[in-house]
Structures are given as C-alpha cells and as structure tokens.
Amino acid sequence: MFSSIEDVIERFAKNNYIASRRIATVIYLATELRKPVLVEGPAGVGKTDLAKVLSASLSFDMIRLQCYEGLDEGKALYEWEYAKQLLYTQILKDKISEVLVGAKGLTEAVDRIAAQDEVFFSERFVLPRPLLKAISSEQPSVLLIDEIDKADAEFEAFLLELLSDFQVTVPELGTLKAKHIPLVILTSNNAREMSDALKRRCLHLYIDFPDRAQELAIVKLKVPEAAAKLSEEVVTVVQSLRKLDLKKMPGISETLDWVKALTLLNVQSLDQELVNETLDTIVKYEGDVRKAQEELKDYVRRVRARRGTETGSDKDLLN
Amino acid sequence: MQEKLVEFANLLRENGVRVSLAETLDAFSASEVTGLGERDAFRAALRATMVKRSTELPVFEELFDIFFSGLGEIIKQASQAVQNALSMSDQEFQKFLDEITEMLKKEGKNLSELAKQLLQNNSGELERKINEAARAVKISGIERTIEENYFARALARQLGLDKIEAEIKNLREQLEKMDVGPELKAKLEEYLERRLKALDDIIRRFVRMEREKRDIKQKDDQRLNQIGEKSFYYLTEEELKKMNEAVNRLAQRLKNVITVRRKRAKKGRFDIKRTLRQNLSYGGVPFKLRFEKRKREKPQVVILCDVSDSVRNASRFMLQFVYSLQDLYSRVRSFIFVADIGEVTEHFRNNDSKEALDVALKGDIINVYAHSNFGYAFRSFVSDHIGSVNKRTTVIVLGDARNNYNLPHDGCLREIQQRAKKVIWLNPESRNTWGFGDSEMDRYAPHCDVVEECRNLNQLYRVIDRLVTG
C-alpha cells in the first residue's frame, strides 16, 4: 500500500500517470479506509486509466467488469456451466447406473442420486465472472467496474450488497467470503444519476478536464516524440475548443490521438489546412466539426498574422 | 474538530447538499487519515466523502473556503492592518510584539487572558475564544442583515469587550508612569488604540461572515421542484433556462425507465417447441434453451407543436421537450404550426437545442406572427404529410386549441385519428377554460384518444410516463 499522498503521486508518475493532489488524496484515502471510489467526469479524462495505473503501481491484478445495458448477475458474478454439467452426466451415464444398481423403487433411486448432488454442484462447474473472481482471488486485486451508469438500476442494487460485505452467497455452495478485500474503482460517465445508496458507500472523485499546464505535461509524458511547439499548439486549440458548446468535448485521449497523428505526419506546427483535415480525430460530430472550424479559423489567422510580424514566442497569443 | 465537521455538514445540508450521517462519519475517518495539517488534502478528503454530485461541487468549494478559513483570515487581515497603520516591516512588528510580551510579563499581571492574547497577537487562541463565544450566543440562528448588529453586540458582551476596554485604559495609564522612550510610548499608545478597534472590527466581520454562510443557499434542487409546479405561462427568462435543464434531466430519466422496461420485456416465456426442435441433434437433451422472443415495436411519434404567440412560453418549453424526445426515439417527426405547418425534424436532428429552438421560433420555417389557425394547420397536414402517419404512429398535438374563430376542420383530425395508433392532445391551458371563447377543445377532444392538461413540468412528467409504459 501507499505510505503517503506523495507516495501515490510518485508511484503513479512512474507509471506514466500525472495525478493531481486531489486525485492522489482520494486514492490514498481509498487504500487506507478500504472504500470503493466512484470516479465521475467527462469521457476521456483518464478514469479507466486510473484503475489500471493503480493496479500497476501496487502490482495487484486488475479485474475488469465492463457494464452495459442488460448486464445481469450471470454475466457479472457467476454462472453454472450448464452444458458442462450435461456433458458430464452423459459421459458418466454408466457410473450413474452403477450407483442405481439394486435400488428398490423410484424413491430410493432418487435418494441415491440426490446424495451425489454436490458432485455436480461443486466449484468445478461454476464459471466465475469478474465479481466472483475478484472475491475469490488469492492475491489482492483491483476491481474496475467500468461505466456503471450503463448498467440497469437493479444491477446497481445488487452491487451494493457486494460492495458492503464483499461476500457472495451461492445457494448450492454456501457463502464465499473475500480473502482479500479488493480495491474497487467504479467509473461513470454520468449517463444517469447513480443511486444515493451507492454513492454513500463510495468515495467520490470528480475528474474534470485538465488545465493547460497539466495537459501539456501529459502530452509530453505520453507522446515524448512530438515537437514541443506542436504539442503546445494542439493543447491550446483543444483547450479553446472545450470552451465551445459542443455535443462531445474532446478529452485527453483525443488530444493525445491528435498529437500522435500529427507527429506521424511529421508536422512541426499547425496550419489551417492541416487543422481542417485532421479535425475529425478530436471532434466527432458533424455539428461540432462545423463549430470547431469556425472557432479555429480565427485562431489560425491570428497565429499567422503574428508569425508574419515576428517570430518570437507564441505564448502570449496562446493565452 | 468533530463538532466543527458536524457543523459543516449541517451547513452543507442547509445549502442543498445531501450529506448523510454515514458520510459525515466517513469524513471523520478520512480527515484522520489525511490529518489537518495540510489544507488541500483535508479539503480533498471532505470533498470525496461528503459531496457525491458534481453539480454540488461549487457549493462545497465556496462553503469550505468560508467555513474553514474565514475567521483565521479575518484575524490575520486585522493584525496586518494594524501593522500597516504603524508602518512597520514584518521584522519590526515581530520585534515590537516581543517587546510587548516582555512588558506584559512585568506589568500585565491583572490583565485578562483575552486582552493578553489580543495584544500579543495570538491569533490561534483568539480564534478559539471567538468561536466559543459565538457558540454561546447561538450565532447559527442568524438569518437577516438587520440581525447583524444584535449578534455583534451579544458576541462582544460574551467576550467581555467592555472589560477589556477598561483594562487597556488601565494599561495606558500605567504606561504613562513607565520609563520608556517617548517614541516607543507613542507607538504603544497607538498600538493599543488600534488593537481595540481591530477586535471590534473582527467581531463585526465575523458576524457578517456567519450570516453569509447561511445566505448562499443555492437550493437548486428545491427550486427545480418548485418550477415543476409552476405554470408555463408565468415563467421568467431565468426560470426558462433552469427549465431546459429540468427537461433534459426528465428526458434522461425517461431513457432509464425505457431501458429497464425494455430489458425486462426482452426475454419471453420458455419456448418448449423450439427448445425440443433445436436440441434434436443432441438426442433430445436440452443443451440449448430457447425462449420466446418478444417483438418490440419501435415507437413512431409524430408531434405537432403550436408555436403561436398565445402559448409563447409554453411552446418554447414544449419544443425543448420535442427536441429531447427526438433524441430519445429514432423515429420521431416533428412539425410546428401557427397557421402554416412546417417540418423541423431534420433541423432538430442537426442542431443543438438552443440553436434549433431559436430558428424554429424566429419564423424561418413558418410565419410565426400569423394568427393561429388549427383548422388550416390540420388540413394542410392531412393533404401534405398524412403519409407519415400509419397504424403504428402516435400523434401528439401540443397546443391550446385557440382557433381565432376560424373553421376548426375537426374532420381532418378525425382522419388523422383513424389512420394513427393513437392521438394525444396536450393542452397547456387550465382545463376550466377549455371550450370558452375561441377555444375549440370540445370539438377536437372526441377525436383524440388522450386529452391531458399539461401546464407544468410535473404534469408533463406524468403524461410521458404513461406514454412510455403504454
């Protein structure tokens, strides 16, 4: 575990994740208090990455449960391997008849079969899904429940039970208790409001888009091969786009994609044509693209005018 | 500290942030882990444990600043002001304070604790004393500006300000007798004078801050609920903005309802015939189970929205709703009308809500300044767009049915009803006024399957809920 908040920041940095003090504090609290963390925020600000980095920096296993509409216990917790059970009964037909040899009447036969019940309802035939895996894992683990807002309200209620006790009752097997309480990270894109009960059990972390300096640091860390000037320009553009009323704001991942794409094209600095051609890596809707183009036209013109008169720093302009 | 946290939790609650007891307990244990030494970590700890909605974050930030730094900050500013008035540098001031401490040790035997702390600029102790006194006079009950004076006086009394005044006066008299240089004496005199004023100032500002704490009350949620019951006709500009938010939330909620219900309905009953047939190849052993599949009709909706002047506020809101609805269902066609009728489906699909609504209401699509004529609108709809209505279509009409005594052409509505699955009429007017004056509601009502009064958000919500389930 972590020894202090600074330790969190440091070890995250080693895994290429720039954690603000706020994020680090919450993670530190989560490990100390053993509470799940509900991470909210717009898409593409590194919510899922947070869990990955957490598991990497503690060298825990990561178990991931991706939520979607209609996700149920069978997919999330465990399932009986129905087909396997059937297959075994078919293959073991002879053995079963051996058990039944000499049985008088139907009642006795059924009793004898019933005595063998646990053979078929044993852990051998349980197909563990992520949640059960996290609970029964021998090593401590990080459990990432991704996009919990996509799952239905019933599933959320079911999750509550799990998150408070970390034990699961399988009727045929009894209660399975977690050997190590996993560190749980839940992420939500706010497609719907989570229930109060769930929120109450979690620490809440809201990650917003990073400010300019932070984003620049992230770009430098993740795409070190990009030209310094280019990354600055890209970050500035993306920051200004986030001020617009877009259907989907470009996240950090979009910024990184864009920088990577431009670097691949061996671009040193932005210009109008390039922006227009590659804009769809960061803005994903038709209406948004139009708005972005409108905004960027001004920006590029300003840059060019500036460059015409002097070749000094662009910094003032960028702000 | 615990008391302070409980108080903070109460304050958050007063300002519309829902903080449960369990969360307050979490805040205790979290603040124990982070410690109080570092402000940012402490703030983050409280934030993570007490605030669970991103919309409530600004309220938290604001209150945290006031609550946890308020008094200390005020005291610091006050002593800074004293220092400035004496025109001393930090070092000089510190040396000066040391001298005073020395002097008080010799001369100040009969001074009260508070006076000493005040003169020695012991801000931590001072803060604690003031907080104690504040609790004693129950300052948390302050609500209005006019109560400030009362509480300031009560607080001063509780702190024993008059006694301190006397004590300091005494001290000044003693000062006369002491043999110190005239320069230092003058400075000391001024210092005493100013300190006394500073305390007074601190008390006043503290009381004001306490009032402000209770004043921020951005009870957003509550206000939205109130808006829910308010008629569309009486909404102010600002409330309209809030309303948009509410409508979006409503649509979101609706979406959840739909997904849950859809999921529940997805699997039908166990299908014996199909299961047997499917498993013939396994010798009749049921390896694969088959269930009846339910076919779900995608709802098709045609919306006719009145945007005439008589329903101005309502129509803006209704359009917002239409817009959200179109986002929700894939097969929605939206029309607006006053006398002419025009389709806005494409337009809504391609623009964001504000832009779309502005264009629709500005008159680019149809003339919105005409007198409303439902009869004509229905007739044009039947002749031009009747193809969009079929057995699976739900037609929703949003309007007040005020026809300006034009021909109602209710036959056209009947024709629409005959072709459609359902016709729903939502009227933003009170039910009592239907059929009076130029309202043709009574004439149109027989040709609708559902007629609902829909004057505010809550009524609309109920209507939609029925629409989704039905």
- Residue A65's SS3 state is strand
In which element (H, E) is residue B399 found?
A: none
Closest CA–CA distance from residue B451 to any residue of chain A (Å): 31
Contact A28 B34 (CB under 8 A): yes
Contact B352 A33 (CB under 8 A): no
B77/B80 Cα distance (integer angstroms): 5
Residues A95 and A68 in one domain: no
3-state DSSP helix/strand/coil % of chain B, to nearest 5: 70, 10, 25
Q: Does B101 touch chain A (CB under 8 A)?
A: no
Residues A148 and A16 in one domain: yes
Contact A90, A41 (CB under 8 A): no
Contact A152 B263 (CB under 8 A): yes
Chain B residues touching residue A206 (CB < 8 angstroms)? 54, 57
Give residues 349 to 388 of B whose Cβ lies within 8 Å of A: 350-352, 354
pLDDT, average across residues A298-308: 69
**pLDDT above 70 coverage of chain B, percent:** 81
Q: Identify the weakest region by mean pLDDT among A128-142, B179-193, B347-361, B380-394.
A: B179-193
Cβ contacts of A238-245, under 8 Å, gap ≥ 24: A238/A282, A239/A211, A239/A212, A239/A215, A240/A295, A240/A299, A241/A282, A241/A283, A241/A292, A241/A295, A241/A296, A242/A209, A244/A291, A244/A292, A244/A295, A245/A291, A245/B352, A245/B354
Contact B287 A202 (CB under 8 A): no
> Is residue B173's pLDDT more than 60?
yes
Q: Identify the weakest region by mean pLDDT among A81-90, A304-313, B156-165, B450-459.
A: A304-313
Residues A40 and A181 in one domain: yes
pLDDT in tens, A80-111: 888 888 888 888 888 888 888 888 888 988 88
**Closest chain A residue by Cα to residue B254:** A192
Name the domain count of chain A. Answer: 3
Residues A173 and A250 in one domain: no
Sign of the CA dihedral A113, A116, A121, A124?
negative
All residues at 6 or more sequence positions from B232 whose CB lies less than 8 Å from its CB, including other chains: B311, B313, B314, B317, B428, B455, B456
Reference B391, options B261, B297, B293; nearest CA is B297
pLDDT-based confidence at residue B117 (cuts at 50, 70, 90)? confident
Between B142 and B236, the more confident residue is: B142
**Closest chain B residue by Cα to residue A208:** B54
Chain A residues touching residue B51 (CB < 8 angstroms)? 204
Interface A-B, measured as beta-carbon pairs within 8 A, has a size of 86
> Is residue A319's pLDDT more than 50?
no
pLDDT in tens, A215-274: 999 899 888 888 888 888 889 888 888 888 777 888 888 899 989 988 888 888 777 778
Contact A205 B48 (CB under 8 A): yes
Is A113 contained in some domain? Answer: yes
pLDDT, average across residues B270-281: 82
C-alpha count within 13 angstroms, C-beta hemisphere, residue B43: 18
- Residue B32's SS3 state is helix
Q: Which two tokens stand for residue B298?
A: 């995608």
Question: How much is the pLDDT for A316?
Answer: 46
Contact B11, B63 (CB under 8 A): yes
Residues A65 and A146 in one domain: yes
Pick the last residue of a domain from A86, A102, A125.
A125
Sign of the CA dihedral B65, B67, B69, B71?
positive
Residues A33 and A154 in one domain: yes
Domain range for A26: 5-76+130-206
> Is residue B107's pLDDT more than 70?
no
Question: How much is the pLDDT for A155?
Answer: 85
Is A316 contained in some domain? Answer: no
Q: Which two tokens stand for residue B70?
A: 């308020």
pLDDT, average across residues B449-457: 83
Give residues 155 to 194 of A whose Cβ lies within 8 Å of B: 190-193
Question: How much is the pLDDT for A65?
Answer: 93
> Is residue B37's pLDDT more than 50?
yes
Closest CA–CA distance from residue B41 to any residue of chain A (Å): 6
Pick the last residue of a domain from A166, A191, A206.
A206
Closest CA–CA distance from residue B54 to any residue of chain A (Å): 7
Contact B51 A204 (CB under 8 A): yes
Q: Does B37 touch chain A (CB under 8 A)?
A: no
Return the amino acid letter for B147.
Answer: E
Contact B54 A40 (CB under 8 A): yes
Between B71 and B370, the more confident residue is: B370
Reference B141, options B153, B132, B150; nearest CA is B150
pLDDT-based confidence at residue B236 (cuts at 50, 70, 90)? low
Question: How much is the pLDDT for A309?
Answer: 53
Residues A280 and A225 in one domain: yes
β-strands A174-177, B393-398 pairing: unpaired
Is A171 contained in some domain? Answer: yes
Residues A10 and A72 in one domain: yes
Q: Does A19 touch chain B (CB under 8 A)?
A: no
Contact B169, B196 (CB under 8 A): no
pLDDT-based confidence at residue B239 (cuts at 50, 70, 90)? low
Closest CA–CA distance from residue B8 to any residue of chain A (Å): 17
Reference A259, options A319, A314, A291, A217; nearest CA is A217
Contact B260 A154 (CB under 8 A): yes
Chain A residues touching residue B33 (CB < 8 angstroms)? 28-29, 32-33
What value does the mean pLDDT of chain B take?
A: 78
Question: How much is the pLDDT for A312?
Answer: 44
Pick the last residue of a domain from A153, A171, A206.
A206
**Closest chain A residue by Cα to residue B251:** A192
A161/A145 Cα distance (integer angstroms): 15
A219/A258 Cα distance (integer angstroms): 10
Chain A residues touching residue B260 (CB < 8 angstroms)? 152-154
Suggest the residue from B40, B54, B220, B357 to mutate for an interface test with chain A (most A CBs closer than 10 A): B54
pLDDT in tens, A137-151: 888 899 999 998 888
**Closest chain B residue by Cα to residue A69:** B259
Question: How much is the pLDDT for A318?
Answer: 47
| CB neighbourhood size of B156 (10 A) | 20
Burial class (CB in 10 A: 0-12, 13-18, 19+), A309: exposed
Q: Identify the weakest region by mean pLDDT among A37-41, A277-281, B409-413.
A: A277-281
Question: How much is the pLDDT for B71?
Answer: 73
Suggest the residue from B259, B324, B353 to mutate for an interface test with chain A (most A CBs closer than 10 A): B259
| ipTM of the modeled complex | 0.77
| CB neighbourhood size of A205 (10 A) | 25
> Is residue B222's pLDDT more than 60?
no
Question: How much is the pLDDT for B328?
Answer: 67
Q: Residue A28 sits in a domain of what CATH number?
A: 3.40.50.300
Between B35 and B118, the more confident residue is: B35
Q: Does B226 touch chain A (CB under 8 A)?
A: no
Residues A136 and A114 in one domain: no
A149/A194 Cα distance (integer angstroms): 7
Is A312 contained in some domain? Answer: no
pLDDT in tens, A159-179: 888 888 888 888 778 888 888
Question: How much is the pLDDT for A143?
Answer: 93
**pLDDT above 70 coverage of chain A, percent:** 95
Q: Which two tokens stand for residue B284?
A: 């009749």
Contact B275, B286 (CB under 8 A): yes
Contact A70 B263 (CB under 8 A): yes
Reference B190, options B81, B53, B317, B41; nearest CA is B81
Reported residue count of chain B is 470
> Is residue B259's pLDDT more than 70?
no
pLDDT in tens, B336-359: 988 888 888 888 887 777 777 777
Contact B34 A33 (CB under 8 A): no
Contact A204 B48 (CB under 8 A): yes
pLDDT in tens, A12-22: 999 988 888 88
B315/B243 Cα distance (integer angstroms): 13
Query: Nearest by CB to B34, which of A25, A38, A247?
Result: A25
Is A187 contained in some domain? Answer: yes
Is A282 contained in some domain? Answer: yes
**Locus of tokens 């109080």:** B36
Contact A192 B256 (CB under 8 A): yes
Contact A130, A144 (CB under 8 A): no
Residues A67 and A147 in one domain: yes
pLDDT, average across residues A121-132: 86
Reference A234, options A270, A277, A208, A278; nearest CA is A270
Residues A66 and A104 in one domain: no
Q: Does A81 touch chain B (CB under 8 A)?
A: no
pLDDT, average across residues B25-49: 87
Question: How much is the pLDDT for A7?
Answer: 92
Residues A134 and A86 in one domain: no
> Is residue A119's pLDDT more than 60?
yes
- Residue A188's SS3 state is strand
Question: How much is the pLDDT for A293?
Answer: 83
Is A43 contained in some domain? Answer: yes
Is A314 contained in some domain? Answer: no
Query: Nearest by CB to B52, which of A25, A33, A199?
Result: A199
